[in-house]
Structure 1
Amino acid sequence: MTSTATHLRTCALHWADLREALGTPAVVGGFGIGLRGYLAALDDADQQEARLHQAARLRSLERDPIQIGERPVPVRLHILDTMRAVESALIACADDIAHHAQRAPIPAPSARRTAVAPYRTQREADIAAADRRRRTQLAHADLTDPRRWRWTGRRTAPHAALWLLARVERAPGPCRRITDDEEQRIGAVAAGAAARVERALDIAAQQRTLEQRCACGGAIDVHGGEGRTPVAHCTGCGRIWTEAGAVAA
């Protein structure tokens, strides 16, 4: 069984891949739609791409020459939706865990009111001033500790994933040890986020059973993912389909 730590690392390590995939041309995925549907989708995608190129060429001819320049790369909406959902889930989880498990910063020392309570000697005043500077430095270091989760500033999916990973792995920091319930919640959020990332990037092996039945009445399973072309087989008669059609029975 995949661990929570692995799920969180998946989200953190593949975030850059999602950003890169956000602007790349869409590739039709054939997983779960059947082999014939997969081939038809490829043909439709090719025709649509040709139509888009033709429309873009016509628009460029209609534009004023001074407006011609580099155009923004089209955004792949399903990748964008994945990034938004994953980031929102991880940050919300980190906010909640930090609210309960992260201790408050050390308060800075207040200045002594010497008019009310004066120092008896200069040496006593010097010792008190040195102690106040030391406590101020400790308070500042604790407040700015990079291991501390913040509700402002750097609030990204990779940072949230790594901060949650530190909590799961019991790394030192300004936090108490998380409870079993908190660890289970992190695990559930991490598993869902990693699954979204893997599906968006097609880096996980998957298997689905189609509603359509084989001629023999058996169920048809489709295997794909990890960048591979989908392959279907009948669990009844053993028939196998690829892009080229049936290859075995």
Structure 2
Amino acid sequence: MTTTADHLRTIALHWADLHEAAGTPVQHGAFGLGLRGYLARLDALDADRALMDATLARAAERADSNPEALGERPVPVRLHILDTMRAIEAALHDTADQIASSTQRPAMRPAPATWPAADRERRNALARADAADPRRWRWTGRRRPVPYTALWLLARVEHRPGPFRRLTVLEAEQIGTVAAGAAQRLERALDIAAQRRTLEQRHDCGGAIDVHGGEGRAPLAHCTGCGRVWTEGGLAAA
């Protein structure tokens, strides 16, 4: 069973792969995107994909109207990956903001001026160290990278020590929902998860068409009625 911790580690480990994939050129006439690309050609089912297609079409139209935009333009792949990265980044940062606002305790206050000098200095040193604790989530300054945010949330899920109280059940579930959705987006974008889907479209024989792929494997389509199998190159067996 995949846990919240697994999802957060997946995001942290594969974030650099998304950066690299953002510059990958389109592979025309091939299933360079694995199962995700194959399914996109056969059956665009959800609203997210419809919105993405419309965005890519507008981007392509703008590029075609630009006389300086000559040669091969890998805009669609870049835009899709960048959209995925922006969605993951926003979801994780918003979640970390919410979790920190409710679980992170305020920094220790400095000592009152009426304390003896030695005691005041010791207390103030502790207060400065507490305020500068690197485990604290920061709302100001430069945003932390996504891998850091994922690992920060992981530390909260695993109840690591720090200036925090333990998560409630609802807070843990909130992180789990966001982490699962973000990891699934990342895995679909990189085609690193095994996937199976049954298309709404039926085969000529009336049988359902199951599509298998992912994890770097070439996609296969299989008719559950007549047993036909299709690969990237066409009909493979009957």
Give the TM-score band, short-chain normalised: 0.7 to 0.9
2:122 corresponds to which residue? 134
- TM-score with structure 2 length normalisation? 0.79
Structure 1 position 191 matched with structure 2 position 191: no
- Asked if the contact 1:91/1:156 (under 8 Å) is kept, the reply is no
Q: Is the 8 A contact 1:32 1:222 kept in 2?
A: no
**How far apart are the structure 1 equivalents of 2:21 and 2:81?**
7
How far is 1:247 from its partner?
2.4
Number of residue pairs aligned between Structure 1 and Structure 2 = 207
The 1:6–1:19 alpha-carbon spacing in structure 2 relative to 1, beyond 3 Å, is same
Name the CA shift for 1:131/1:14 in 2 (closer, same or farther; >3 Å). Answer: same
| 8 Å contact from structure 2 (residues 192, 215) kept in 1 | yes
Distance 1:21 1:166, change over 3 A: same
1:42-191 alignment runs, 5 A limit: 76-112=78-114, 128-153=116-141, 154-191=143-180
Q: 1:172 Cα shift? A: 0.3
Sort the Cα spacing of 1:160 and 1:248 in 2 relative to 1 into closer, same or farther, 3 A. same
CA distance in 1, matches of 2:163, 2:213: 44
Counterpart code for 1:8: L
Query: Aligned pair in 2 of structure 1 residues 211, 85: CA closer, same or farther (>3 Å)?
Result: same
One-letter code of the match for 1:97? I
Matched, 1:209 2:198: yes
Contact residue 32 and residue 210 of structure 1 kept, 8 A: no
Percent identity at matched positions? 65
Structure 2: which 5+ residue stretches go unaligned?
Answer: 43-59
Q: CA RMSD in A?
A: 2.5
Asked whether the 8 Å contact 2:35–2:191 carries over to 1, the reply is no
Runs (4+) of structure 1 moved beyond 3 Å?
A: 32-35, 55-59
Q: Is the 8 A contact 2:34 2:216 kept in 1?
A: no
- The CA deviation string for residues 111-155 of structure 1, in whole angstroms up to 9 with x for no partner, is 23xxxxxxxxxxxx9xx2121111111101110111111112343
C-alpha distance 242-2 of structure 1, shift in aligned 2 (>3 A): same
2:237 — aligned with what? 248
The CA deviation string for residues 165-207 of structure 1, in whole angstroms up to 9 with x for no partner, is 0011110010001011110010000000001111111111111
Q: Distance in 2 between matches of 1:244 and 1:185?
A: 43
Amino acid corresponding to residue 11 of structure 1 in structure 2? I
The higher radius of gyration belongs to 1
1:65-123 deviation line (CA, Å, top 9, x unaligned) = xxxxxxxx9680111111110010001001111111110110111323xxxxxxxxxxx
Q: Aligned equivalents of 2:85 and 2:37: distance in 1?
A: 24
Partners of 2:129 and 2:102 lie apart in 1 by 21
Q: Which consecutive residues of structure 1, in runs of 5 or more, have no partner in the other structure?
A: 39-47, 60-72, 113-124
1:13-56 deviations in Å (ceiling 9; x for gaps): 11111111112223443536769x58xxxxxxxxx9xxx9xx87
Q: Which amino acid aligns with 1:16?
A: A
TM-score, normalised by the number of residues in structure 1: 0.75
